[in-house]
């Protein structure tokens, strides 16, 4: 009986809404995204979609919408990292195309 109670309680906790982002979390996410975007620019691999996500994060931060700011900043960081990964992969993929 106790096991069933804890099992049910565990599932109930999974359905709780996520905690709202704080201002500090949103600002930290934006700073991390900007750093990763700078690395992408330095690698000459930046995607234009990343800048749009950064602009959305800045706008949401200015409007004190921490959740939207963090979400947009996280997306921007992800896009910037993917662009860096793509550039690194393409540095060597040409060899496979030619020599394989």
pLDDT in tens, 11-62: 554 444 567 899 999 999 999 999 999 999 999 999 999 999 999 999 999 9
| CA atoms within 13 A of residue 48's CA, in its CB half-sphere | 0
Residue 87, burial from CB neighbour count under 10 angstroms (0-12, 13-18, 19+): middle
Residue 87: the pLDDT is: 93
Quick check: is 78 in a domain?
Answer: yes
Q: Give how many domains the chain has, as a whole number.
A: 1
User: What was the pLDDT predicted at 16?
Assistant: 43
Establish if 8 belongs to a structural domain. no
Banded pLDDT at 9 (limits 50, 70, 90): low
The answer to whether the beta carbons of residues 71 and 28 sit under 8 Å apart is: no
What pTM, to 2 d.p., does this model score? 0.76
Is residue 70 a part of any domain in this protein? yes
């Amino acid at each position: 009986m106790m096991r069933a109670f804890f099992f049910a309680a565990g599932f109930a906790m999974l359905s709780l809404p996520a905690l709202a982002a704080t201002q500090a979390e949103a600002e930290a996410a934006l700073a991390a995204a900007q750093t990763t975007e700078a690395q992408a620019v330095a690698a000459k691999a930046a995607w234009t979609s990343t800048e749009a996500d950064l602009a959305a994060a800045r706008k949401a931060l200015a409007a004190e919408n921490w959740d939207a700011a963090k979400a947009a900043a996280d997306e921007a960081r992800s896009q910037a990292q993917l662009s860096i990964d793509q550039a690194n992969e393409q540095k060597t993929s040409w060899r496979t195309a030619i020599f394989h």
